């Protein structure tokens, strides 16, 4: 009886119906390549090895998944699924159970595959099937009068009667390695496609008296593959709905689960609310009572308890403290850290900025490469001029500073505690603590000045 598990993932297809230069298995589902989903599921089964058979665009596939814990196997010529599996067999132990998966079938539950492998470990051929209302394009499962599986026939080779069968082959199977190796050596390519079909091992198993166990998938979406952009879009919504349902069971309030996209992981506290059109990527952590408004984008962010992110805001690689207010229309760029009770308002951009507790930047400002103390008030239109054309420089703002509107702080520069900067100033040197600092040209009025007027258009 086979003791270990080895997984073979077939990922050599060209994917011509995708109409893309990108290899099919690298198209994204939920923010990561199709093949990554399959590898992750396989890894959950704790196999001895995972073998990925690649072909079309192979170097791009390997480069995109360079850190994947797999053994790469090249299929130089695409001569069918049987030929593809055969390329991996020199690295597969004959005493193992072999599970065959497909790099473009991303949503098969690990529990379903585990059941399949349990049957194969009893010296059987275990197949995963599914009943489809419209089975066009799929290989049909043929059974005898006793209901036993006798063969799989591909649609191109099927008779009119056989094409009426609705139970189809998913291609996913598990089988003892020693049996698989023998059957692969007996495959023939005398069919319409002149290919070596892996499915032909079913007839060989029957001929050899080996039991064939077919399992019907519980859900059609579990076993759907991706052949074109329509199918990719369908599975995207399936995945997003499933993720949303898991999160809602954990307590997340979603205004509309059909308008929520998670392309990574989301950790939530209690009483978290997310409005429509929100996209989250990477790892996002939302503490108790966080509210995220409509059409926000969050990537690799951590948000503290009671914070509100108002609509149309973008937050990336940032840490936000408790009871903060962000947006609407705010952009928080990488490296930014907000202390509790900070306010970042509309059309404010922060980059690599540390903002102290209770500080406010409410309107139309850019604050980059800045260390800011607590209870600072930044007026509308303030800019930290942190880049000299070659290097970035830092601005330091102390506690309880008030910066008037339309001010430029030219880094490197320090504004000390309790300083006040007059509106419309350009600050290039230290602003002393507790003093008013400003730079303005004298205001003057010119009597008798006439505003220019347009010249009248000439006739004709």
Is residue 253 scored above 90 in pLDDT?
yes
- Give dist(CA 367, CA 378) in Å, integer: 9
Q: How far apart are CA 324 and CA 303, in angstroms?
A: 9
**Residue 363 annotated among the catalytic residues of the structure:** yes
107 within domain boundaries? yes
Alpha carbons 303 and 330: distance in angstroms, whole number: 15
- In the sheet with 436-437, reading across from the earlier edge strand, the strands are 253-254, 273-274, 291-292, 308-309, 325-326, 343-346, 360-363, 377-378, 402-403, 420-421, 436-437
Same domain, 250 and 148: no
Q: Which pairs count as long-range contacts for 141-146, CB under 8 Å and 24+ apart, including other chains?
A: 141/165, 141/167, 141/168, 141/169, 141/214, 143/167
- Domain presence at residue 195: yes
Q: Does 250 share its domain with 379?
A: yes
Global pTM exceeds 0.85: yes
pLDDT greater than 80 at residue 428: yes
Whether 236 maps to a domain, the answer reads: no
pLDDT of residue 460: 60
Q: Which of 140, 177, 182, 145 is nearest to 161 (CA)?
A: 140
| Residue at a domain's end among 171, 194, 223 | 223
CATH number at residue 411: 2.160.10.10
**Is the C-alpha dihedral spanning 66, 72, 77, 81 positive or negative?**
negative
Asked whether residue 208 falls in the same domain as residue 248, the answer is no
Examine residue 312 and state whether it is found in any structural domain, yes or no. Answer: yes
**Structural domain containing residue 182:** 5-223
Instruction: State whether 216 and 262 are in the same domain.
Output: no
Which residue in 56, 71, 234, 363 is the catalytic one?
A: 363
Confidence category of residue 146, pLDDT binned at 50, 70, 90: confident
Q: Is residue 211 packed enough to be buried (19+ CB in 10 Å), middle (13-18) or exposed (0-12)?
A: middle
**Of 196, 223, 250, the domain-final residue:** 223
Compute the distance between CA of residue 191 and CA of residue 183 in angstroms, rounded to an integer: 17
Q: Does one domain contain both 179 and 209?
A: yes
Over residues 154-160, mean pLDDT:
89
Q: 223, 252, 282: which is the final residue of a domain? A: 223
Write the CATH number for 29: 3.90.550.10
Domain count, the chain: 2
Per-residue model confidence (pLDDT) at position 338: 98
């Amino acid at each position: 009886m086979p003791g270990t598990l080895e997984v073979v993932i077939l990922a050599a297809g060209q994917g011509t119906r995708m109409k893309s230069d990108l290899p099919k298995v690298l198209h994204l589902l939920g923010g990561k390549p199709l093949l990554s989903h399959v590898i992750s599921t396989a890894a959950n089964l704790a196999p001895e090895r995972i073998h990925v058979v690649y072909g079309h665009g192979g170097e791009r596939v390997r480069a995109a998944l360079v850190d994947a814990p797999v053994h790469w196997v090249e299929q130089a010529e695409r001569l069918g699924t049987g030929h593809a599996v055969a390329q991996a067999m020199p690295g597969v132990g004959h005493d193992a159970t072999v599970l065959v998966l497909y790099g473009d079938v991303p949503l098969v539950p690990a529990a379903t595959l585990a059941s399949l492998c349990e049957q194969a470990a009893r010296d059987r051929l275990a197949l995963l099937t599914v009943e489809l209302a419209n089975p066009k394009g799929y290989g049909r499962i043929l059974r005898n009068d006793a209901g036993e599986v006798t063969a799989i026939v591909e649609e191109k080779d099927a008779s009119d009667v056989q094409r009426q069968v609705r139970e189809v082959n998913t291609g996913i199977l598990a089988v003892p390695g020693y049996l698989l190796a023998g059957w692969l050596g007996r495959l023939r390519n005398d069919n319409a496609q002149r290919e070596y079909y892996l499915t032909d091992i079913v007839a060989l198993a029957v001929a050899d008296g080996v039991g064939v166990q077919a399992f019907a998938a519980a859900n059609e979406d579990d076993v759907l593959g991706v052949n074109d952009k329509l199918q990719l879009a369908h599975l995207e919504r399936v995945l997003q709905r499933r993720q949303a349902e898991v999160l809602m069971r954990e307590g997340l309030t979603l205004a509309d689960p059909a308008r929520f996209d998670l392309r990574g992981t989301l950790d939530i506290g209690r009483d978290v609310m997310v409005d429509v059109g929100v996209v989250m990527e990477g790892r996002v952590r939302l503490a108790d009572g966080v509210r995220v408004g409509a059409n926000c984008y969050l990537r690799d962010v951590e948000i503290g308890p009671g914070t509100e992110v108002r609509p149309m805001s973008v937050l990336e690689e940032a840490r936000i403290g408790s009871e903060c207010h962000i947006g609407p229309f705010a952009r928080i760029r990488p490296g930014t850290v907000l202390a509790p009770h900070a306010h970042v308002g509309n059309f404010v951009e922060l980059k690599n900025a540390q903002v102290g507790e209770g500080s406010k930047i409410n309107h139309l400002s850019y604050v980059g490469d800045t260390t800011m103390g607590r209870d600072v008030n930044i007026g509308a239109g303030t800019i930290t001029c942190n880049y000299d054309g070659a290097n970035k420089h830092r601005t330091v703002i102390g506690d309880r500073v008030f910066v008037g509107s339309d001010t430029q702080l030219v880094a490197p520069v320090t504004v000390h505690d309790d300083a006040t900067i007059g509106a419309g100033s350009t600050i290039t040197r230290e602003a002393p603590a507790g003093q008013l600092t400003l730079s303005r040209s004298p205001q003057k009025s010119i009597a008798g000045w006439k505003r220019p007027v347009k010249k009248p258009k000439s006739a004709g």
